[in-house]
Homo-oligomer: A and B are copies of this chain.
Amino acid sequence: MTSPSERRAHVVGLGLIGASVARSLRTTGWTVTGTDRDPGTVDRALELDIVSGAAMAPGTTLVVIATPAGSVASLATEVLAELEDPEAIVTDVAGVKSAIVAAVQDARFIGGHPMAGSEQRGLAAARDDLFRGCTWVLTPTAATETGHYSRLHGYLRELEANVIAIPADDHDRLVALASHVPHLLASALMNEASLAAEQDAVLLQLAAGGFRDMTRIAAGDPSIWPDVLFENREAITQTLHSLEARLANVRAALAEGRREEIATKLTLASEARRQLPGRALSADRLAYLRVAVSDRPGELATVTVAASDMAVNIFDIEIAHGIEGVGGTLLLAVDANHASRFRDALEGLGFSVTLER
């Protein structure tokens, strides 16, 4: 057994995810080295004490490749050739897995994908708790040794990640639907609206909350997407096909007056969306409060301070309002056990509140 103080890890690629992996591993007792194709990034990582050296140290038992998907297979192969320890593990964090897993057939390699928010970017935004509570997918294959898998699973559990194991093909099919196709839909809708707005700028004045929600992800950094989309084009193509068929079906139902069919589909979707699990709490333990607020400084503070004073945690928050509206509705997700007590407190402060579920 290696004692925690002797554990050595190496991270290749010190962007937000790689640097956060380094920081997180250090909090659980690893000595972490790390490198990046940009020497300036390595220097900053050393300065910020994110890694303690740039070269992989002898005795390294865990290597995390945190580079863009296209470069993972060759880097992993290089590293595996360098690593002598048969017990050492190499993993990666790329968002598309099948091609990588097929290219790197080695008992010591296990593909991975931490589903951590990447709202912020770069080394400076790295956090040592980025993976706490996040879903971390591993994609073991028939070649994967149970011992290696168990050890990697254990390391990630120490970071408080929720580790799930699924085949690489399933992963790619599921993220196509959960992430890649939504991004394409949001972009298509935004481009359709831009075109219409060129002829009729008033359109943007009519684009309210729902439209804003549906197109929000289209605003994300476009440069990371072409790689991901081409890597996963097979699964994406299938999902796009299914969605196009659904939309064509809606058109037919509208043309043929099949009102019941439309109503049923919308009801199914509404129920399914309402059951979409919350995060830390499962959906049946979350309650939703709708609170009418104005846009004055301080309104939000009054609500959140009341929550804090009562030790009520707000798991989710958003403001729903018209495009140019002053005021609107605050939607709060809170622990269901505290919901009515919190509603009463807010009403006591003069707010108009609706409690759902």
> Which partner residue on chain B sits nearest A332 by CB separation?
B300
Instruction: Determine whether the beta carbon of B277 is less than 8 Å from that of A116.
Output: no
**Which residues of chain A from 200 to 234 have a CB within 8 Å of any chain B CB?**
200, 202-223, 225-226, 229-230, 233
Contact of A240 among B170, B190, B247 (CB under 8 A): B247
With known contacts A217-B213, A312-B297, A352-B127, A208–B322 Cβ distance under 8 A: no
For A52, list chain B residues within 8 Å (CB).
none
Within 8 A of B (CB), among A122-152: 125, 127, 129, 132-135, 137
Copies of this chain in its oligomeric complex:
2
User: In the complex, A133→B295 CA distance in Å?
Assistant: 11
A81 interfacial contact with B, CB 8 Å: no
Task: Check if A117 is an interface residue, CB within 8 A of chain B.
Answer: yes
- Which residues does chain B contribute within 8 Å of A211, judged by CB atoms? 178-179, 182
A187 within 8 A of B: yes
Contact A214 B217, CB 8 Å, known A137-B206, A313-B296? yes
- Given contacts A164-B205, A240-B251, A317 and B314 within 8 Å (CB-CB): no
Whether A250 contacts B184 in the complex (CB less than 8 A), given A272-B191, A323-B277, A327-B129, comes out as yes
Chain A interface SS verdict (over half): helix
A162 to chain B, nearest CB (A): 6
Q: Which of B171, B188, B206 contacts A246 (CB 8 A)?
A: B188
Nearest CB of chain B from residue A47's CB, rounded to whole Å: 17
Task: Give the Cβ gap from A229 to chain B, nearest Cβ, in Å.
Answer: 6
A178 contact set on B, CB distance < 8 A: 193, 203, 206-208, 211
Q: Which residue of B lies closest to A209 (CB)?
A: B117
Among A184, A237, A290, A315, find the residue whose CB has the most chain B CB atoms closer than 10 A: A184
Known contacts: A117-B321, A206-B174, A273-B215. The answer to whether A230 contacts B243 by CB under 8 A is no
Residue of B203, B222, B243 touching A263 (CB-CB under 8 A): B222
A-B contact pairs, 6 of them (CB 8 A): A160-B326, A218-B266, A237-B251, A237-B255, A279-B326, A302-B308
List A residues at the B interface (Cβ < 8 Å).
115-117, 119-120, 125, 127, 129, 132-135, 137, 160, 162, 164, 166, 170-171, 173-175, 177-179, 181-194, 196, 200, 202-223, 225-226, 229-230, 233, 236-237, 239-244, 246-248, 250-251, 254-255, 257, 259, 262-263, 265-270, 272-274, 276-277, 279-280, 290, 292, 294-298, 300-305, 307-308, 311-329, 331, 352, 354
